[in-house]
């Protein structure tokens, strides 16, 4: 079961409450970045292109927890950069868990051996490990040989210690449907992780690999072929069924980026985790003063090829809650 029953019930109740209150814009997941520094230089990520003085900064624990309190989203993705490089990451995790937030600690897993004794297994904590392919492919994406085998060993150690482990895999235009099938089969069957997130690569403006990002039709073809013959039902994919339909091109969604807001050292990022058009001091200011109608395919050229979950999964969840048939489908697939 990719989404634990406790989390599915809490998030479902939260979404229902927002619907009953007729709230149009509300957060579902907080993308919390307490630092931008990382110990890898992945080809498809632009986060470490920040100035050196910014890469040295670490968000105070109190500031990180205050953002979670202000936002109110039931789920928090603790990201970066590499969050395990934060000297007080365990205190941030502990504070979020005490608030009964469902925490996904996004990590490349290289620092897990040094940090794992400071973390405590909890039904509210998932170690969300980035794996972008099997050995040769993953090491190519992260630009360092030997990383894949280290990551696999560290995942197995975390599982032995009782941690819930999920994965996050990004696919590029150099991937094939067979690549997708092989890595998801490995994660699902060999590593037996608790859930898997997938995403078509987004063209970060400062990312080194500017020729590797997927277009909309490329994304649809890739996942349509990878999901053929009912394969996607065999994998523990941590996404709504409608978002997976969206990736295949069975339907289309507008972006609702306020559903997964990003808070970093700069503040609340406009309009989303992937684009930086300025920052707001509060989530309320972000929602109320951002011109959301400017963004999305056909409106902003930077959005033309984006099918990332940070903008479209909230739309899919809202569509699920608005349809009895889709709500039943979501319960059956969870």
| Chain segment 282-306, per-residue pLDDT in tens | 999 999 999 999 999 899 999 999 9
Under the banding of pLDDT at 50, 70 and 90, the label for residue 333 is: low
Structure confidence at residue 267 (pLDDT): 97
Comparing 323 with 229, the larger pLDDT belongs to 229
Placement of tokens 């029953």 in the chain: 5
Average pLDDT over residues 203-214: 59
Pairing of strands 29-32, 262-264: parallel
Question: Measured between alpha carbons, how far is 88 from 314 in angstroms, rounded to an integer?
Answer: 30
pLDDT of residue 259: 96
pLDDT in tens, 129-174: 999 999 999 999 898 999 999 999 999 999 999 999 999 999 989 9
- CATH number of domain containing 244: 3.20.20.70
For residue 212, what pLDDT is reported? 64
Question: Is the Cβ–Cβ distance between 245 and 14 less than 8 Å?
Answer: no
Query: What is the number of domains present in the chain?
Result: 1
Share of the chain above pLDDT 70, in %: 93
- pLDDT digit string, tens, across residues 68-121: 999 999 999 999 899 999 999 999 999 999 999 999 999 999 999 999 999 999
Beta-carbon contacts of residue 232 (< 8 Å; ≥ 6 apart): 226, 244
As a whole number, the mean pLDDT across the chain is 91
- Residues 196, 187 contacting (CB under 8 angstroms): yes
- pLDDT at position 205 is 58
How many other CB atoms are found less than 10 A from the CB of residue 51?
Answer: 8
Query: How remote is the C-alpha of 15 from its chain's centroid?
Result: 19
Look up the domain containing 240 and give its range.
5-333
- pLDDT higher than 50, residue 331: no
The predicted pLDDT at position 4 comes to 86
């Amino acid at each position: 079961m990719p989404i634990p029953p406790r989390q599915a019930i809490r998030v479902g109740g939260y979404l229902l409450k927002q619907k009953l209150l007729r709230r149009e814009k509300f957060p579902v997941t907080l993308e919390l970045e307490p630092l931008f520094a990382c110990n890898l230089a992945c080809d498809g990520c632009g986060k470490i292109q920040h100035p050196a003085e910014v890469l040295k900064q670490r968000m105070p624990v109190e500031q990180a927890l205050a953002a979670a309190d202000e936002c109110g989203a039931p789920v928090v993705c603790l990201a970066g950069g590499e969050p395990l490089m934060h000297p007080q990451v365990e205190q941030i995790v502990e504070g979020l868990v005490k608030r009964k937030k469902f925490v996904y600690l996004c990590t490349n897993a290289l620092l897990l051996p040094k940090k794992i004794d400071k973390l405590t297994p909890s039904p509210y904590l998932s170690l969300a490990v980035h794996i972008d392919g099997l050995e040769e492919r993953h090491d190519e994406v992260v630009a360092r040989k030997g990383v894949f085998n280290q990551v696999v060993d560290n995942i197995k150690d975390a599982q032995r210690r009782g941690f819930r482990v999920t994965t996050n895999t990004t696919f590029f235009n150099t991937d094939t449907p067979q690549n997708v099938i092989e890595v998801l089969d490995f994660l699902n069957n060999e590593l037996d992780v608790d859930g898997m997130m997938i995403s078509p690569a987004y063209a970060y403006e400062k990312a080194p690999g500017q020729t590797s990002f997927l277009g909309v039709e490329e994304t649809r073809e890739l996942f349509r072929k990878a999901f053929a013959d009912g394969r996607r039902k065999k994998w523990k994919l941590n996404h709504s069924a409608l978002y997976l339909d969206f990736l295949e091109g069975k339907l289309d969604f507008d972006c609702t980026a306020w559903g997964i807001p990003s808070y970093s050292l700069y503040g609340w990022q406009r309009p989303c985790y992937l684009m930086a058009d300025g920052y707001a001091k509060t989530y309320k200011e972000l929602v109320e003063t951002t011109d959301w109608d400017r963004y999305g395919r056909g409106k902003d050229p930077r959005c033309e090829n984006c099918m990332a979950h940070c903008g479209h999964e909230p739309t899919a969840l809202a569509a699920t809650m608005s349809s009895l048939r889709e709500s039943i489908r979501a319960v059956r697939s969870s």
